[in-house]
Structure 1
Amino acid sequence: MLDQLRPVANRALRPFVSASTTLGLTPNAVSIIAFVLAGGAGVAFYVAPGAPVWYLVGAVLVFLNGWLDILDGALARELGTDSPAGDLLDHVLDRYADIILIVGFAAGLGRFALGLAAVTGVLMTSYLGTQAQAVGLDRVYGGLLGRADRLALIGIVGALAAFVQSVGGYSLVVLLLALFAVVGHITALQRFYYSWRALS
């Protein structure tokens, strides 16, 4: 749902695009920095059950990752360097970042089966979004839970988990993973249905 706010985010990014240009950063460099931050967040989430303050550290890194994830595209358009190669790099790093974040949460709690269900839901959502483009449609960002929504939820839950680990006897992180597992697959099916109808 938050993916629909990309035009608003792009306007807010203008000062950061200018700063990145001044610093000589390339879009690919920004994509790589965003991925490194996601890796740091995944590690923080993994160790956080033993020291919950790391959930907060991970949350901050996730928000920075999300911000850079939209900055790289805006910077590429500003510099006129947007290309299929850059788009490929961005998507590959985004998928690995998604995996690292979810695995960090799940492995930290030893909830591997739930983590598997969550990560497959997330990956199928992203796959259906780009597969629509591969078969001649526009890239699909719709559905209940796009990447922007996931990053926002990971950041919010991470920040909350630093202070409150459970609600009603249920771990906040486990609830988040369950949400990704269920709603991720629902979103993937929504995107499949939209694409199927458009092609039929």
Structure 2
Amino acid sequence: MTLDQYRSVADRLLSPFVSLADSAGLSPDGVSVIAFGFAVAAGAAFYVATPLWYALGAFFVFCNGWLDLVDGALAREQDVASAGGDLLDHVLDRYADIVILAGLAAGIDNYALGLAAVTGVLMTSYLGTQIQAVGLGREYGGLLGRADRLALVGVTGALAAIAPGELVAGLTLVGFLLVLFAVVGHVTALQRFWGAWSDL
């Protein structure tokens, strides 16, 4: 269940946004920084945790995810793809994951659940890059990739704007989302580890 497999479809939709960014004189690194700014805005919106701010947070998450595609496409368009740009993109993506999940957890005042979700997400990403580091290529497989997570956060934020209260077992929609990320994140990390271990 990963949206990353549809990246080629998204790339075809990026053309006008890439042209706009290029015309505005933006660099791929500049787009990456703007995308991170939207992630920070999303985390802050989720921290406020009112219906209006949940809706705004969902919009900010969408902007972060879309610009995360634009920066790579812009680098290819400008023929300036580099190891430095890739490094910056990955670092900002991880910090974006942290601030978004931290905002969600703070908004429902459940920091333990937030910690479990953050570690699951970070371990998933870490395994992807560590597998590459041992020479097996970049690993994007698993139950939930970053595109999936952002889509789920966006949808949950929009739904939380409509139904912000507790549902069952004291958990809100946001609480259930964090549980999902905690469980599936660690399962995906172990899935990637086992696959890579089997290939060594």
Distance 2:196 2:44 in 1: 36
Q: 1:63-122 CA deviation, whole Å, 9 max, x = no partner?
A: 000000011011101111111100000000000000000000101111011100000000
Q: Which residue of 2 aligns with 1:44?
A: 45
The letter of the residue matching 2:67 is L
Q: Which residue of 1 aligns with 2:162?
A: 163
Q: Secondary structure at the residue paired with 1:162?
A: helix
Q: Which residue of 1 aligns with 2:131?
A: 132
Distance 1:89 1:125 in 2: 18
Q: Which residue of 2 aligns with 1:181?
A: 182
Q: Which residue of 2 aligns with 1:87?
A: 86
Equivalent runs, 1:95-174 vs 2, <5 Å:
95-166=94-165, 168-169=167-168, 170-174=171-175
Distance 1:11 1:197 in 2: 35
Q: Secondary structure at the residue paired with 2:8?
A: helix
In the TM superposition, what is the alpha-carbon distance from 1:167 to its structure 2 partner?
A: 6.6
Q: Which residue of 2 aligns with 1:3?
A: 4
Distance 1:71 1:22 in 2: 13
Are 2:167 and 2:173, in contact at CA under 8 Å, matched by a contact in 1? no
Q: 1:113-133 CA deviation, whole Å, 9 max, x = no partner?
A: 110000000000000111111
Unaligned runs of 5+ in 1: none
TM-score w.r.t. length of structure 2: 0.96
Distance 1:167 1:43 in 2: 21
Q: Secondary structure at the residue paired with 1:4?
A: helix
Distance 2:187 2:77 in 1: 35
In the TM superposition, what is the alpha-carbon distance from 1:14 to its structure 2 partner?
A: 1.4
Distance 2:166 2:193 in 1: 34
Unaligned runs of 5+ in 2: none
Deviates more, 1:145-154 or 1:126-135: 126-135
Equivalent runs, 1:52-67 vs 2, <5 Å:
52-67=51-66
Q: Secondary structure at the residue paired with 1:81?
A: coil
Q: 1:33-56 CA deviation, whole Å, 9 max, x = no partner?
A: 0000000000000011xx221000
In the TM superposition, what is the alpha-carbon distance from 1:168 to its structure 2 partner?
A: 3.9
The letter of the residue matching 1:30 is V
How many residues are matched? Answer: 197
